[in-house]
Amino acid sequence: MIVRLAEAPRDPGTDSLPNLPDPYRWSTAVDRVDSLSARERTILVLLGNGDSNRSISRRLDISERTVKSHMSQILAKLGVESRLQAGLVACAWAQTCPAARHPERRPAGVRAA
Residue spans per domain, the chain = 27-99
Q: Indicate whether 85 pLDDT > 70.
A: yes
**111 C-beta neighbours (distance < 10 Å), count:** 6
| Torsion, Cα of 67, 112, 49, 33 (10° steps) | 60
> How does the average pLDDT of the chain come out, rounded?
77
Q: What is the pLDDT of residue 3?
A: 46
Is the pTM for the entire model greater than 0.85? no
Q: Does domain 27-99 have CATH number 3.20.20.70?
A: no
